[in-house]
């Protein structure tokens, strides 16, 4: 590591219990960016056309950068000497706190675009709220990542429109992807017990406003794509509490292989 | 070895001018606008840099290069800080840096054209000047390019594809 770590002066002001809660929440955000970034990186060399292969690799890289900032902060909040690498490579699937959406398989390009659109729509509106967050470090990470997240949402929104209002085949595929993946979108703004406590303490943004922004954007994009917004979908949850679909275990097997096989390995 | 003269901030800035971006080697890190502060206290030197993009893989290399350049002058008490806020913007790129970029074949960022936090779906594209034949008849091929900081364009007159250093503000 070439950089000096900069201790957040605000850390000393948090009571130990609050610091532990904030640690869990930052970990959840880091896990989310890491798992989705890993999924996108699986496309590298397999994209439908070169430009979109590059786009997905670029988005994966932005997410990985955000992941590192978040894990570094989480490690400081925990204060037990674990590093960003320990947090990413040495925790099991039940300890991961990402929502179910981001661990869903890539499927075809339409599946990946819909998964990305649902996440980007949340990420963009969430980071906007986080900009003025009480926790300065989270606000700084949001300030950096929001510019990138805006670019991602533009990319995935335009692809929803192209696929929906495109050919018969692209439309049929994007409709199938929406039918499959929409049920994972609710978890993003459904607060867990931990999130409710942090919201009550004013440490993280309330999700109601974020949800309203997301709904308005989704409606506008789907209307332009001539697609219907799914109604009355039963939303699946559990990822943010560590109850995952079978897919996460396979992701971690690949992601953690080197560190599990050769503990403490460095380049 | 002769002990080096005590460092001055002006001298450190001069040395940093010689450290280049590993991905766009015609640009110094000062041209790029990523050095935010230099502090000298006695023999202790602190350099604060900020990433262009969160996942920019060049950041660690740049930090190592800064360290090596200062070590070569005999300065050993070094701290390199990575600062996220305020977030980097292409407005911080110098005029000289923009000219070097164009001469190198990469179209420099056009200020005020970033969508910022506004989405502007299928919005009107910016007229980016071809760095080779200087025509403004060009079109966007891909929002994403060979590195996080670039987009891919093609010139409609000389037909050459080229990189555009995206406006980021």
Task: Provide the residue-wise pLDDT of chain B in tens; the chain has 169 residues.
Answer: 556 678 899 999 999 999 999 988 999 999 999 999 999 999 999 999 999 888 888 888 999 999 999 999 999 999 999 998 898 999 999 999 999 999 999 999 987 766 566 677 877 767 899 999 999 999 998 889 888 889 999 999 999 999 999 887 6
**B2 within a domain of the structure (yes/no):** no
Whether B129 and B111 share a structural domain: yes
pLDDT tops 50 at residue A1: no
Of A55, A148, A221, the CB nearest to B142: A55
pLDDT of res. B117: 66
Is residue B13 within 8 A of residue B38, CB to CB? The reply is: yes
Q: Which of the listed residues B46, B62, B82 is the one where a domain comes to its end?
A: B82
Distances (CA, A) of A229 to A220, B43, B101: 10, 63, 45
**Structural domains in chain A, sorted by start:** 13-261 (1.20.1260.10)
**B70 within a domain of the structure (yes/no):** yes
Is residue A104 within 8 A of residue A187, CB to CB? The reply is: no
pLDDT of res. B115: 58
Whether B140 and B97 share a structural domain: yes
Q: Please enumerate residues of B whose Cβ is less than 8 A from a Cβ of A.
A: 51, 53-57, 60, 63-64, 67, 79-87, 114-122, 141-146, 148, 152, 168
Q: Which of the listed residues B61, B82, B103 is the one where a domain comes to its end?
A: B82
Whether B64 and B38 share a structural domain: yes
Distances (CA, A) of B118 to A128, A149, A151, A190: 11, 11, 9, 26
Please report residues of A whose CB lies closer than 8 A to that of B51. Answer: 65, 144
Whether B100 and B69 share a structural domain: no
Whether B19 and B78 share a structural domain: yes
Please report residues of A whose CB lies closer than 8 A to that of B60. Answer: 2
**B87 within a domain of the structure (yes/no):** no
Q: State the DSSP string of chain A.
A: --SBP---GGGGGS-HHHHHHHHHHHHHHHHHHHHHHHHHHTTTTT-SSHHHHHHHHHHHHHHHHHHHHHHHHHHHHH-SS--HHHHHHS--GGG----GGGGS---SHHHHHHHHHHHHHHHHHHHHHHTT-SSHHHHHHHHHHHHHHHHHHHHHHHHHHHHHTS-HHHHHHHHHHHHHHGGGSGGGGS--HHHHHHHHTTSS--HHHHHHHHHHHHHHHHHHTT-PPP-SPPPP--GGGT---THHHHHHHHHHHHHHHSTT---
Please report residues of B whose CB lies closer than 8 A to that of A40. Answer: none
Q: Which of the listed residues B82, B106, B124 is the one where a domain comes to its end?
A: B82
Please report residues of B whose CB lies closer than 8 A to that of A51. Answer: 141-142, 144, 152
Across A4-14, b (16+ Cβ under 10 Å) vs e yields: eeeebeeeeeb
State the count of interchain CB pairs (< 8 A) between A and B: 102
Q: Do A65 and B118 touch (CB under 8 A)?
A: no
Q: Do A221 and B121 touch (CB under 8 A)?
A: yes
pLDDT of res. B147: 85
**Number of domain units in chain B:** 2
- In this prediction the pTM is 0.92
On the 0-12 / 13-18 / 19+ scale of CB atoms within 10 A, A232 is exposed
Domain CATH number, residue B66 = 3.30.300.130
Whether B106 and B45 share a structural domain: no
Q: State the DSSP string of A125-177.
A: HHHHHHTT-SSHHHHHHHHHHHHHHHHHHHHHHHHHHHHHTS-HHHHHHHHHH
**B1 within a domain of the structure (yes/no):** no
**B25 within a domain of the structure (yes/no):** yes
- Mutation target to probe the B interface, by most B beta carbons within 10 A, among A154, A216, A219, A267 is A154
Q: Is the ipTM of this complex over 0.90?
A: no
Domain housing B115? 92-165
**B4 within a domain of the structure (yes/no):** no
Question: A204 at the B interface (CB within 8 A)?
Answer: no
Identify the helix (H) or strand (E) that includes residue B11: helix B9-16
Whether B68 and B98 share a structural domain: no
Residue of A nearest to B141 (CA): A51
**B75 within a domain of the structure (yes/no):** yes
Question: A130 at the B interface (CB within 8 A)?
Answer: no
């Amino acid at each position: 590591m070439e950089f000096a770590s900069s201790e957040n002066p605000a850390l000393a002001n948090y009571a130990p219990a609050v610091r532990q809660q904030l640690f869990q929440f930052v970990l959840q955000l880091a896990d989310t960016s890491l798992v989705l970034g890993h999924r996108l990186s699986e496309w590298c060399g397999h994209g439908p056309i070169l430009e979109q292969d590059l786009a997905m690799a670029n988005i994966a890289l932005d997410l990985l950068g955000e992941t590192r900032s978040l894990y570094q902060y989480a490690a400081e909040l925990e204060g037990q000497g674990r590093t960003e690498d320990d947090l990413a490579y040495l925790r099991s699937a039940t300890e991961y706190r990402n929502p179910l959406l981001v661990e869903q398989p890539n499927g075809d390009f339409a599946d990946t675009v819909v998964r990305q659109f649902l996440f980007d729509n949340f990420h963009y509106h969430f980071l906007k709220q986080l900009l003025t967050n009480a926790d300065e470090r989270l606000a700084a990470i949001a300030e950096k990542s929001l510019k990138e997240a805006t670019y991602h949402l533009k990319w995935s929104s335009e692809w929803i429109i192209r696929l929906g209002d495109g050919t018969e085949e692209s439309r049929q595929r994007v409709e199938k992807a929406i039918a499959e993946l929409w049920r994972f979108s609710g978890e993003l703004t459904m607060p867990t017990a931990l999130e409710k406590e942090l919201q009550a303490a004013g440490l993280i943004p309330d999700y109601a406003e974020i949800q309203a922004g997301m709904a308005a954007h989704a409606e506008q994009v789907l209307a332009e794509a001539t697609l219907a917004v799914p109604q009355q979908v039963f939303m699946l949850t559990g990822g943010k509490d560590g109850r995952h679909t079978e897919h996460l275990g396979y992701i971690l097997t690949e992601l953690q292989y080197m560190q599990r096989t050769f503990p403490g390995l460095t380049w | 070895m002769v002990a080096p003269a005590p460092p001055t901030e002006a001298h450190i800035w001069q040395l940093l001018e010689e450290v280049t971006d590993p991905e766009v080697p015609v640009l110094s890190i000062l041209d790029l606008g990523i050095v935010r502060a230099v502090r000298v206290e006695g023999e202790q030197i602190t350099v604060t840099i900020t990433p262009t993009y969160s996942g920019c893989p060049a950041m660690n290399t740049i930090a190592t290069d800064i360290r090596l350049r200062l070590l070569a002058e005999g300065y050993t008490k070094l701290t390199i800080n990575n600062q996220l806020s305020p977030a980097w913007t292409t407005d911080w790129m110098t005029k000289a840096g923009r000219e070097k970029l164009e001469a190198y074949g990469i179209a420099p960022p056009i200020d005020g054209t970033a969508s910022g936090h506004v989405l502007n779906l299928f919005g009107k594209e910016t007229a980016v000047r071809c760095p080779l034949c200087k025509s403004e008849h060009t079109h966007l091929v891909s929002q994403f390019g060979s590195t996080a900081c670039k987009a891919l364009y093609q010139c409609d007159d000389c037909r050459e594809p080229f990189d555009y250093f995206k406006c980021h503000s």
